[in-house]
Amino acid sequence: RWQSSSLPQLDHIDRSDEEGGGEIDWDNLGFGLTPTDYMYVMRCSAEDGGGFARGELRRYGNIELSPSSGVLNYAQGLFEGMKAYRRPEQQAGGYTLFRPEENARRMQHGAARMCMPAPSVEQFVDAVKQTVLANKRWVPPQGKGALYLRPLLMGSGPILGLAPAPEYTFLVYAAPVGNYFKEGLAPINLVVDDEFHRAMPGGTGGVKTIANYAPVLRAQMDAKSKGFTDVLYLDSVHKRYLEEVSSCNVFVVKGGVVATPATRGTILPGITRKSVIELAGDRGYKVEERLVSIDDLIDADEVFCTGTAVVVAPVSTVTYRGQRHEFRTGPDTLSQELYTTLTSIQMGVAEDSKGWTVAV
Ligand code: COI
């Protein structure tokens, strides 16, 4: 059982709202790491007879790990990605989180797969809120980006033989971010990798384990060296059905139909993906979660990617076996509409009729 933190002692924390202390160029944020002031740490140890150290805010900085920790040796780790936006002053100010309980539940689901205990939904959301408040001077001004939150869950205890670690650490840190891709909001160019795969049936592609991410670096670096933005993966069995891009889900649009790969264990169940499915349905599109073949993609009018970091990114070209396929981008596209609708809700500038945002 995780022990919840009691209300944090924030007296020692600089809670001034002065944005970034004047140290940061808000217009050119990108997705680089800007260290912030505080992180939240909560430990969970079986040795304490089910008692767990309480969570607390600490100065952001390095953590100590045993060389034989489960996470370092056997990749027993999960992460989440979330964003806090600064609300407009005229709407009482403050900050908003987007569907944070979904991230908490996804971490619980992943923890079960990776044999780890997980914080409760309340503990997770409380930790994220505390991290936002402690770092509030790092939440970018309206329209300039968001404070990205990175909850981690790891086997921090020592273990030599292959087994679950005897101790776990839940940690949340934050960094102000702008656009994920170097293209900014401009359309991206993907390449389909025919050799490498991201996940396989029965594997861990459907949970947000750290172990899913290093394996895509080889293909990603090769793609970038050839001028592509990122890699689009196909399924590892038929080598024919779309899975996802290294860091985001993928959608194809043809006429009034929007299709995205169904989550059957190899694809990450994205929270932006789930939200976009609902928003596209509200707009009268028929939304299909199914097998989406490479031929469906080639035949599509429009292709876009979704993710917390990526938001909704239009795809202008996909290169498959040396052939470059082009898709519609620009002002009259569904991806543009979805981007505007979604970010308006997330930033608190449009009414949140779905109850997706949580005030901090
Ligand atoms: C996110 O979108 O938040 C992610 O976790 C993807 C990551 C590779 C940046």
User: Confidence class of residue 14 from pLDDT cuts 50, 70 and 90?
Assistant: low
Rounded average pLDDT over 309-322: 97
Nearest to 36 by CA among 13, 9, 59: 59
Nearest to 289 by CA among 222, 242, 323, 341: 242
Comparing 84-93, 97-106, 241-250, 333-342, the range with the smallest average pLDDT is 84-93
Model confidence at 46: pLDDT above 70: no
Which amino acids bring their CB within 6 angstroms of ligand 1? 81, 247, 307-310
User: What confidence score (pLDDT) does residue 89 get?
Assistant: 75
Rounded average pLDDT over 214-219: 95
| Long-range own/partner contacts, residues 272-278 (CB < 8 A, 24 or more apart) | 272/248, 272/306, 272/307, 272/308, 272/310, 272/311, 272/312, 272/342, 273/249, 273/306, 273/307, 274/102, 275/98, 275/99, 275/342, 275/356, 276/251, 276/306, 276/312, 276/338, 276/342, 278/354
Residue with the nearest Cα to atom 8 of ligand 1? Answer: 247
End-to-end CA distance of the chain: 26
Distance CA 141, CA 29 (A): 11
Between the CA of 290 and the centroid of ligand 1 the distance, in Å, is: 23
User: What confidence score (pLDDT) does residue 90 get?
Assistant: 64
User: What confidence score (pLDDT) does residue 91 get?
Assistant: 64
User: What confidence score (pLDDT) does residue 23 get?
Assistant: 76
Between the CA of 49 and the centroid of ligand 1 the distance, in Å, is: 35
Residue of 99, 177, 247 with the most ligand 1 atoms within 8 Å of its CB, for mutation:
247
User: Confidence class of residue 22 from pLDDT cuts 50, 70 and 90?
Assistant: low
Between the CA of 9 and the centroid of ligand 1 the distance, in Å, is: 30
Residue of 210, 308, 346 with the most ligand 1 atoms within 8 Å of its CB, for mutation:
308
User: Confidence class of residue 182 from pLDDT cuts 50, 70 and 90?
Assistant: confident
Residue with the nearest Cα to atom 4 of ligand 1? Answer: 81
User: What confidence score (pLDDT) does residue 9 get?
Assistant: 44
Between the CA of 309 and the centroid of ligand 1 the distance, in Å, is: 5
Residue with the nearest Cα to atom 7 of ligand 1? Answer: 247
Model confidence at 17: pLDDT above 90: no
Q: Is the pTM here over 0.80, yes or no?
A: yes
User: What confidence score (pLDDT) does residue 48 get?
Assistant: 56
- Point out the ligand 1 atom lying closest to the alpha carbon of residue 80: 5
- Point out the ligand 1 atom lying closest to the alpha carbon of residue 208: 5
Between the CA of 51 and the centroid of ligand 1 the distance, in Å, is: 32
Nearest to 71 by CA among 172, 218, 169, 206: 169
Hey, which residues are catalytic here?
208
- Point out the ligand 1 atom lying closest to the alpha carbon of residue 309: 2
Pairing of strands 286-290, 323-326: unpaired
Distance CA 105, CA 134 (A): 24
Distance CA 236, CA 212 (A): 14
Residue of 149, 248, 273 with the most ligand 1 atoms within 8 Å of its CB, for mutation:
248
Mean predicted lDDT score pLDDT of the chain: 91
- Dump pLDDT digits (tens) for 104-160: 999 999 999 999 999 999 999 999 999 999 999 999 999 999 999 999 999 999 999
Residue with the nearest Cα to atom 6 of ligand 1? Answer: 247
Rounded average pLDDT over 225-249: 97
User: What confidence score (pLDDT) does residue 73 get?
Assistant: 98
Model confidence at 51: pLDDT above 80: no
Q: Per DSSP, which regions of the chain are E strands?
A: 38-45, 56-59, 77-79, 82-86, 95-98, 146-155, 167-177, 188-193, 230-234, 242-245, 249-254, 257-261, 286-290, 302-307, 311-320, 323-326, 357-359
User: What confidence score (pLDDT) does residue 10 get?
Assistant: 46
ipTM over 0.85: yes
